[in-house]
Amino acid sequence: MGKRSFFLILALAITAVAAGQSAHQLIRKGNKAYQRGDYADAEAEYKKALEKQQNLPPAWFNLGNAMYQQQRYAEARQQYQNSLELSHSSQEKADAWYNMGNTFMSEKNWQQSIQTYEQALKLNPYDDDARYNLAYAQAMLKKQQQQQSGGGKQNQQQQNQNQNQNQQNKQQQNQQQHQQQRPSPGQLTPQQADQLLKALAQQEQKIREKQNESQKPLPVPSGKDW
């Protein structure tokens, strides 16, 4: 996934106006910092060049490269887009599309990287790097989709298992509640206890009535001689 570099050629500086020459000099200064690996310094020089002259595709392109090296992919992508809009060369446009694809690749945005590499190949069908990166992005997108599909099936299975477990838990709770409503051996519900007390009270009343009857005075014997 090589990143394209686009350094300003000296021929542009020869035909440029004074202000343009200053911008080109700043670009060359930025290129030197970039080659040393001083990407922050290179970025600063490219920005200075653009302050003097904004219609320079190489300045935007190289600014994108400096940001890319600092892993600021979204910002780099915007600079490549600016370069793309200002460029007139098919090769320059193809390189801008290619590097935009690299920013998406670095973010693992496979779908967008595929689209940008395809744009690069439309402008330069013989770009082996773009073709390789396109194939890689397509393979990674396919793998991602398979994983998501498998994960969806696993999630569905997990949901089904959870539903079954919930149903089993509800059944167990219902059984426990039903068992709790039944009096265990030796225990009575309040209704049963009340009925039993009433029955005992009635039985005691009958016993008292019989006791009262036994305590009644014997009848007075009549005067009849048997």
Taking only the tens place, the pLDDT of each residue in 21-33 is 589 999 999 999 9
pTM of the model: 0.62
Exposed / middle / buried, residue 44 (Cβ in 10 Å: 0-12, 13-18, 19+): middle
pLDDT for residue 106 is more than 60? yes
Exposed / middle / buried, residue 199 (Cβ in 10 Å: 0-12, 13-18, 19+): exposed
Greatest mean pLDDT range, 51-60, 171-180, 195-204: 51-60
Look at residue 5 in the predicted model and tell me its pLDDT.
72
Helix axes 73-86, 57-69, angle to 10 degrees: 170
Look at residue 191 in the predicted model and tell me its pLDDT.
66
Look at residue 149 in the predicted model and tell me its pLDDT.
86
pLDDT for residue 85 is more than 80? yes
What are the boundaries of each domain within the chain? 9-75, 87-144
User: Are 63 and 40 within 8 A, CB to CB?
Assistant: no
pLDDT for residue 60 is more than 80? yes
Residue 16: band (very low, low, confident or very high) from pLDDT cuts 50, 70, 90: very low
Domain 87-144 has CATH 1.10.760.10: no
As a whole-number percent, the residues of the chain with pLDDT over 70 amount to: 59
CB under 8 Å to 113, separation ≥6 — which residues? 101, 102, 104, 105, 133, 137
The per-residue pLDDT of the chain, averaged, comes to: 78
Query: Quick check: do 9-75 and 87-144 share a fold?
Result: yes
State the CB neighbour count (10 A cutoff) for residue 59. Answer: 30
Residue type, 163: Q
| DSSP designation for 74 | H
Task: Name the more confident of 45 and 12.
Answer: 45
> What is the fold of 9-75?
1.25.40
Q: What's the CA angle centered on 90, arms 89 and 92, to 5 degrees?
A: 65
> Phi and psi at residue 38, in whole multiples of 5°?
-90, 75
Give the residue carrying structure tokens 């190949």: 121
pLDDT for residue 126 is more than 90? yes
Maximum Cα–Cα distance across the chain: 171
Residue 2: band (very low, low, confident or very high) from pLDDT cuts 50, 70, 90: confident
Task: Name the more confident of 128 and 157.
Answer: 128
CA atoms within 13 A on the CB side of 215: 6
pLDDT for residue 34 is more than 80? yes
